[in-house]
Structure 1
């Protein structure tokens, strides 16, 4: 494993998401929870994902589903787009993000506006909304952040 945290904070993993994953510390903001959950996907830590999912959202087979989900993809990068609320002292917050991943040899982007709630001094992921996106025009930058124009990237075909 690289020394850098998968969440893209620029900090070493041991000083970033590792204390959350090990249960030594709790995320203090919705963004910290978002980043630690992304890292848990990247590092294949389904138990952490279950523990940080709000209890009202857990299904009886949630852990099995998370184990299957983390085994499928390879996470390539996270970019936080915006945060609304979710700070120390807030009871809820939203974090919009874009994550690059590879599944079965195909690179894709997941974009979501995630909803978080803080209960009893602990942040939980509730759910997310996937924003509708019209495809970019041919000469606009591709949605995957490759740096290429859409027509030269995912607009082929």
Structure 2
């Protein structure tokens, strides 16, 4: 069984797919974060767009989401910290790093995301810091462990070309 892209030890069908298809609603802010990351991985642009609070969506467009989703190879989601965001909360914060490859470079997106419940459903609201940082990772050697956490060498995993 291949694990869900969100990192949980469940299959995509058992984990994030029901959220993305609208069959289930994420119970926690972290579940919403994981399902949004997975939607980026599998190219479900509508889900990413529709789970962004319309009041804070601003100029975000589906084309922008689609471009980032398709132009990157998503490798791993790392949840760093979750503050509140439980079933009985109305707001929560999820800090994460999303690792990806773009044009042969391994990068990560690090953010503290604010989620709010709107009409009983979790929505991405904003990032806590004013700057969303996309940082270049240290250059990974071909024989170094792969940053995706597979335990394989980079050249035998995400570094295969």
The two structures, once aligned, show a CA RMSD in angstroms of 2.4
Q: What is the aligned partner in structure 2 of residue 24 from structure 1?
A: 23
Structure 1 runs of 4+ with >3 Å offset:
144-147
Q: What is the aligned partner in structure 1 of residue 64 from structure 2?
A: 65
Q: What is the aligned partner in structure 1 of residue 121 from structure 2?
A: 122
Question: How much does 1:119 deviate?
Answer: 1.3
* Partner Cα separation in structure 1 for residue 113 and residue 99 of structure 2: 16
1:79 aligns with 2:107: no
Query: What is the TM-score normalised by the length of structure 1?
Result: 0.79
Q: What is the aligned partner in structure 2 of residue 4 from structure 1?
A: 3
Question: How much does 1:72 deviate?
Answer: 1.1
Q: Is the 8 A contact 2:76 2:148 kept in 1?
A: no
Question: How much does 1:35 deviate?
Answer: 0.2
1:93 aligns with 2:124: no
Give structure 1 stretches of 5+ with no counterpart: 137-143, 148-157
Secondary structure of the corresponding residue to residue 35 of structure 1: helix
Query: What is the TM-score normalised by the length of structure 2?
Result: 0.77
* Partner Cα separation in structure 1 for residue 69 and residue 148 of structure 2: 23
Q: What do residues 85-139 of structure 1 show as CA deviations (whole Å, max 9, x unaligned)?
A: 10001010000111110111111111111110001110000122347x9x99xxx
Specify which structure has the higher proportion of helix: 1
Q: What is the aligned partner in structure 2 of residue 151 from structure 1?
A: none
Question: How much does 1:20 deviate?
Answer: 0.4
| Change beyond 3 A, Cα 1:91–1:43 | same
* Partner Cα separation in structure 1 for residue 111 and residue 29 of structure 2: 14
* Partner Cα separation in structure 2 for residue 13 and residue 113 of structure 1: 24
Q: What is the aligned partner in structure 1 of residue 55 from structure 2?
A: 56
Question: How much does 1:63 deviate?
Answer: 1.2
Q: How many residues were matched structurally?
A: 137
